[in-house]
Structure 1
């Protein structure tokens, strides 16, 4: 019997190769393409708006209410003298006189609560308090005397007048307090010699001193 020849061996090898190729195509593993996954973008961080600042207005303290500009006048409790105080822009000027020979001009600041300490010539000191914007109560110390007083707000707006001039070679300095009832208390000083002052016209300030026509002006700080 003849052995298969080389042709048969070659054919068998081709069949085996074809079989293996077919098997690989039907059962082979499919290689998928790689998928790129984009990293998630970071959450944008926006600028966080700061809370709107609370508007802060200027708050007046309970004692910082504005002291009204006004003029006050009145008598001492013992009736011997008179006091007038003129207030403007937190400053005060006052006049104390007995209508004969004792007098003093005083000045100083008015505190936010209405308190005041005014000082003047002859060592005079006025301590007072503005009460309810209608009156000033206080005391004046002068030449060893202690005088309590109440000065009420002037209805006409002016209660204190002053005139200075030179008359017949003498230096004249006069002060007048006009009270609520229309009466007046004043002193005219002539070169250091005080005496009772003549009456003025409150409407115009006109006054005659030693035959000379002068004008007494309202006093403000």
Structure 2
């Protein structure tokens, strides 16, 4: 969710949008509102808390240097730093970057589609909390990360907990009817993720579940495990 896009960032800077307010308080309610009227809850309280058991299943798999794409309030980056990893969070939302830095993590206010430090050399990249949806085109995002991660690197992705494959325009809204500017987003389950990786330079090395959350470890196609 944290990598909502440039339009969302500009709106946040102008108006203090619902995501900014929720980051400040660490509380919701916060939702994605879809064009068809559906409302999808966002777990802002979990994002602003310490890593949970499902997060730790990802953290244990991180190797070497780690890039957290759409780092949000920074729980993953801060934990990795405490484990001795050289970790960097990137997020388009300046309030998310400020909160990550306050938590003790390194973070950069930038889109994953812009030039990033250490391109082609990151040992691990992570896409948690729905961030496979950044930009509304998972194939484009996966192809971009194939440029960012080292040839023998690892990409750890959280998929939707249901069998879904959606590309859509959404708003972030709170419980008082305040909404952000629209931005493009996607939701993909494990099956849709597996279908997306084939043309992007990745292959699925592992999948696992923790509670209601689903994850996949991707390796560059042809790389030794």
Same-fold call, TM > 0.5? no
RCO greater where, 1 or 2, for CA within 8 Å and sep 6 or more? 2
TM-score for the superposition, normalised by structure 2:
0.24
Q: Which of structures 1 and 2 has the bigger CA Rg?
A: 1
TM-score for the superposition, normalised by structure 1:
0.25
Which structure has more strand as a fraction of its residues?
Answer: 1
